[in-house]
Amino acid sequence: MTDYQWPTSFNKIATAVSFSPTALAVLHEAIRITRRFSGFIYFIHAGAKTPETEKKLNELLTLAGCNKDNYEIIWKDEEPTTAILNACKENNIDLLIAGALQKENLVQYYRGSIARKLCRKANCSLMLLTHPEVESRPCDRIMVNGLKHPKTTDTVQTAFYVANAFGAKEVTIVEEVDPAAVGIKPDDDLKTVKANRKKAQIARNEHLRLETMLKELPINSTIKVKERCVFGKKGYSIGHYAEKNKADLLVMNSPDTKLGFFDRVFTHDLEYVLSDLPTDLLLVHTTRKKEA
């Protein structure tokens, strides 16, 4: 399947460049990821272009080991979120890479950090790095949502596209199921047995659906593929599962709508993950419409 067409390809990659304490680490990560996909990288700086900032930025890029023939600097004298979003739209970026706090405090949560705003408004895929490192680190375990949704097929395929590029050892497809789907309260021994049988039946049905999804994928034989059916609240369950099983990257569908204040008060499934990131997160932006 050498001619297989992935639904997403990360040819044009971007990251914002600031002068924060983690800036160099984010740059190293972004450059490594760009090389994995044989892509071209854009460095976005939110602020005025002056001789001083240009010198400082070039020094930072030199420290990060940039190939001068494989990047472009975009200067945007705008508020950071606006600058990043405009640059991505104007340059048809496929993947935006950004640093993110692993856990936000209450004030940041309700005001919305830059990473949160990017999740809601970016028109490209977004990778959030919770612990960017200067030195290379492995990405062995990838987890991806398998929920029944029109976007999921592309998201799962993208997870394998990333796994192939990163040399991952394992991809786990996690299907979150609302406990209400069982329809039986296990409040005595007999009902517990019936509830467990119902869960097993749901898990079998989900397995068949996911097997159909995976059938045509050119999956590297070195990648171990797992499926897990988790019963619980969407977003919270997959985040908890990813943390418990030490995932290196969690891959999820991008939001269906522009999330706002009420999505944080009445928590949307993605908001559970964003409020306490269990690991690096990739939100897959797709424009194709498919049946789940």
d(C-alpha 178, C-alpha 234), whole Å: 7
**What tens-digit pLDDT sequence spans the chain (292 residues)?**
456 777 788 999 999 998 888 889 999 999 999 999 999 999 999 989 999 999 999 999 999 988 777 899 999 999 888 999 999 999 999 999 998 654 544 444 334 467 777 887 888 999 999 889 999 889 999 999 988 888 888 999 999 999 999 999 999 999 888 777 777 777 666 777 777 787 888 778 888 888 887 877 778 788 999 998 888 887 888 988 999 999 999 999 988 765 555 454 444 577 667 777 889 999 998 765 443 3
Structural domains in the chain, CATH included, are 1-135 (3.40.50.620), 138-282+288-292 (3.40.50.620)
